[in-house]
Structure formats: C-alpha cells, structure tokens
C-alpha cells in the first residue's frame, strides 16, 4: 500500500463481523477435532487445514475479500490494506460460484452464500464510497 493511498476508518461493526467470521471458522475446526475428524489426513495438531467443503470454500473467498477491504491486518506487517480491485475479484468469484451452483445447493448452503455475498457487496460499496470521498477531500481544488 503506497503512502498516497486512502486511509480509511473501518467501523467497529465491520471489525466485529470479521472477528465473528474468524470465530465461526475456529469453532468449526474445534468441532471437527472433537469429532475425531482429521481433515488434513495426518496426525492431529496445529497447522491442520479445515475440511474441504462448500462452507470452507465460501469462507476462504470471503476472507480474501474482507482482508482486501481492510477488515484484517496483514500478519507480516500488522497493517490493514485497502485493495478494492482484489476485493471485487474475490466477491465476483463468489458471484460466479452462486451462478454456477444455482439449484444445486442445500438450502443452508444457498443461504450462507447469499448472505455472504450480500454483506460483502454492501461493505465493498461502503469502503469504495469512503475511499472516493477521502480522495476528493485530498485532491487539490480545480483551477478557476
């Protein structure tokens, strides 16, 4: 992220939603461990991958979008980044998934995908509007 990139304030609701999504994933992983599932095919322990499932696929793409919208810190730098192009790509991939799986998902899977897309699209619009507003404030006034 360059120094001239917009700096945005991410509201606490957005942070809470991102944290709740991380918590859901952690709970699912704990449930799988408690049930004796070994999704990675190796010995139980740290570093296991979650089971390959529709929910994991949706969560993975949603996490990419949340990260690109500044909802999570970069683990290496500790900084948040805003990359609207990357966020849109992840959201668009979820849209393709929704289109291609129409009428082939359980009601629960369709609801998860639909709700995830709805929330991500709303956040994308909010962040995009905030970025444009901030850029307009930082731009020099037009010559008269």
Could you report the per-residue pLDDT of 14-34, keeping only the tens digit for each? 666 666 777 777 777 777 667
In tens, the pLDDT along 112-144 reads: 999 999 999 999 999 999 988 888 888 777 777
Structure tokens at 25: 């994933």
d(CA 133, CA 60): 30
- Considering Cα of 37, then 43, then 47, then 51, what sign does the dihedral take? negative
- Predicted model pTM: 0.65
Q: What's the angle, vertex CA 119, arms to CA 114 and CA 120, rounded to 5?
A: 100
The DSSP call for residue 4 is T
């Amino acid at each position: 992220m360059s120094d001239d990139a917009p700096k945005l304030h991410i509201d606490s609701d957005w942070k809470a939603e991102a944290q709740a999504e991380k918590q859901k994933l952690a709970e699912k992983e704990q449930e799988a461990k408690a049930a004796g599932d070994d999704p990675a095919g190796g010995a139980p322990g740290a570093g296991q991958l979650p089971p390959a499932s529709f929910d994991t696929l949706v969560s993975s793409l949603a996490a990419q979008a949340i990260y690109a919208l500044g909802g999570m810190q970069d683990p290496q730098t500790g900084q948040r980044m805003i990359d609207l192009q990357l966020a849109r790509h992840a959201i668009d991939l979820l849209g393709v998934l929704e289109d291609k799986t129409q009428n082939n998902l359980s009601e629960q899977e369709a609801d998860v995908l639909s709700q995830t897309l709805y929330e991500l699209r709303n956040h994308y619009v909010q962040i995009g509007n905030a970025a444009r507003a901030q850029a307009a404030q930082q731009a020099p006034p037009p010559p008269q």
